[in-house]
């Protein structure tokens, strides 16, 4: 890395850049500029192209599920809370 060669008689607000680093003289000392520098907005990019279609899967097909017949005069209750309430009512009737 090259050495720094600051001006010997800088004026207040003067900048000096070496090795990609910029310093500003504040009237007393050289201070490294650490603030982020925001550049101009870039141009809009081009739209992406549609990707290729994926390959067809080669997994094993599962077995067909069991068909269950339910009589129309019977009710199937799957909600446990409802089932408990119905059972309690049936016990109270007896």
DSSP H or E segment with residue 15: strand 15-18
The residue-averaged pLDDT of 81-94 equals 77
Domain count, the chain: 1
- In the predicted structure, residue 40 carries a pLDDT above the cut 70: yes
Identify whether 30 is part of a domain.
yes
- In the predicted structure, residue 67 carries a pLDDT above the cut 80: no
- Give the sheet arrangement for strand 30-32, strand by strand: 15-18, 21-25, 30-32
Range name among 6-10, 63-67, 72-76, 85-89 with the lowest pLDDT average: 72-76
The residue-averaged pLDDT of 7-36 equals 89
Beta-carbon contacts of 71 under 8 Å, excluding residues fewer than 6 positions away, are: none
User: Structural domain of residue 12, as residue ranges?
Assistant: 1-35
Identify whether 67 is part of a domain.
no
User: In this structure, what token pair is assigned to residue 15?
Assistant: 């900048």
How far apart (Å, rounded) are the C-alpha atoms in residues 45 and 47?
7
Residue 57 DSSP code:
P
How much is the pTM?
0.36
């Amino acid at each position: 890395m090259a050495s720094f060669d600051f001006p010997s008689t800088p004026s207040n607000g003067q900048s000096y850049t070496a090795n990609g680093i910029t310093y500003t003289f504040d009237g007393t000392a050289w201070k490294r500029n650490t603030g982020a520098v925001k550049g101009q907005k870039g141009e809009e990019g081009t739209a992406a192209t549609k990707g290729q279609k994926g390959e067809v899967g080669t997994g094993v097909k599962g077995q067909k599920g069991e068909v269950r017949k339910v009589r129309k005069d019977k009710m199937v209750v799957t909600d446990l809370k409802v089932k408990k309430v119905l059972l309690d009512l049936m016990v109270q009737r007896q």
